[in-house]
Structure formats: structure tokens, C-alpha cells
Amino acid sequence: SSDLWARNGGHGMLIEARGAGPCILFHAPNDTPNERARMVAVTYTDDGLSIVGDEMPGSMYPADDS
């Protein structure tokens, strides 16, 4: 199996975002006090979940892999 989000991030939860469908909501980076909310669209697959695209508008942390 592979990580859903292999970049620096903390615990997450699955939500159904109004108008966006299933998303994972988590904090990143996993580095106090720099944590910010991030939300990424996902889809259900036969193997579990897959990320559908980039972060959703309104994520509090810019897309940065640092």
C-alpha cells in the first residue's frame, strides 16, 4: 500500500464538502507552530482512496512541499 499524502502532514479526517464531494482535511506541515488546515479532494476506489487533484480553494496553507 502507499500513503495517501506522502508529504509532511498530520492526522486527518474524511469529510463530505458541500459542492466538492469527499475530501481529506488535515494539518500541514506537522511542525508547531506552523500547522495550517489543508483540504484535498479524494475519490473512493476499489483499493481505498485516491487524491483527485490539488488542494481545494480556501486551504489555509499554500501548496508547498517543504
Higher per-residue pLDDT: 8 or 24: 24
- So what's the pLDDT on residue 53? 73
CB atoms < 10 A from the CB of 42, how many?
Answer: 19
**CA dist., res. 56 & res. 45, Å (int):** 20
Angle at 24 between CA 21 and CA 28, to 5 degrees: 145
- So what's the pLDDT on residue 56? 66
Angle at 13 between CA 25 and CA 22, to 5 degrees: 70
Q: pTM for the whole thing? A: 0.69
Whether the pLDDT of residue 66 is over 50: the answer is no
CB atoms < 10 A from the CB of 13, how many?
Answer: 8
